């Protein structure tokens, strides 16, 4: 089967599952890289399981993902030095992580929503059902905490740090 055929089947399955549960819960379906040999099945299942855990936090609603479309997370998963990844994410996101812990906040979730919607505040507010002024306030708080969402290297590092953080959370021993 072609990738398109597999994705069509996945989308139909996603629609059915969402309908069965009346869209009351988020459903994630993952498609791994192509499996050529039976011995690769375990690796493919593990790959997509990690990817679903990590990307599940990135979606507001039910979703279908393909490992081929998540190259950054795939790259992060191959990086052998977990401590380095933790340090990188902490260096960029540390103040936000600490703020959320101290205030029982959700600025990191808001950051994920903003990243998903290219920092378009109105679009992010509509997609997440958060009032526009709330999104504006949270964006201001993120800036106060040192988050650089301006186009350029700073933004690239921010998105990478966020993806690393999500990956680390999804693959920690506590999950």
pLDDT value at position 5? 86
Alpha helices in the chain (DSSP H): 3-20, 41-56, 71-78, 82-103, 107-116, 121-128, 132-144, 153-170
HSE at residue 69, side-chain half, CA atoms within 13 A, is 10
Q: What is the pLDDT of residues 23-47, one digit of tens each?
A: 677 888 888 878 888 888 988 888 8
pLDDT in tens, 90-135: 999 999 999 999 999 899 999 999 998 899 999 999 988 899 999 9
């Amino acid at each position: 089967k072609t990738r398109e055929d597999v994705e069509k089947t996945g989308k139909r399955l996603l629609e059915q599952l969402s309908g069965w549960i009346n869209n009351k819960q988020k459903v994630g379906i993952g498609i791994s890289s192509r499996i050529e040999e039976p011995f690769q099945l375990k690796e493919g299942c593990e790959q997509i399981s990690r990817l679903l855990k990590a990307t599940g936090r990135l979606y507001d609603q039910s979703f279908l993902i393909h490992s081929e479309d998540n190259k950054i997370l795939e790259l992060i998963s191959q990086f052998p030095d977990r401590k380095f990844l933790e340090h990188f994410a902490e260096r960029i996101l540390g103040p936000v992580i600490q703020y959320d812990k101290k205030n029982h906040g959700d600025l990191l979730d808001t950051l994920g929503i903003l990243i998903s919607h290219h920092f378009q505040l109105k679009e992010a507010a509509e997609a997440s059902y958060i009032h526009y002024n709330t999104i504006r306030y949270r964006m201001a708080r993120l800036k106060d905490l040192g988050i650089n969402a301006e186009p350029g290297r700073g933004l690239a590092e921010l998105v990478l740090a966020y993806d690393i953080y999500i990956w680390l959370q999804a693959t920690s021993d506590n999950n």
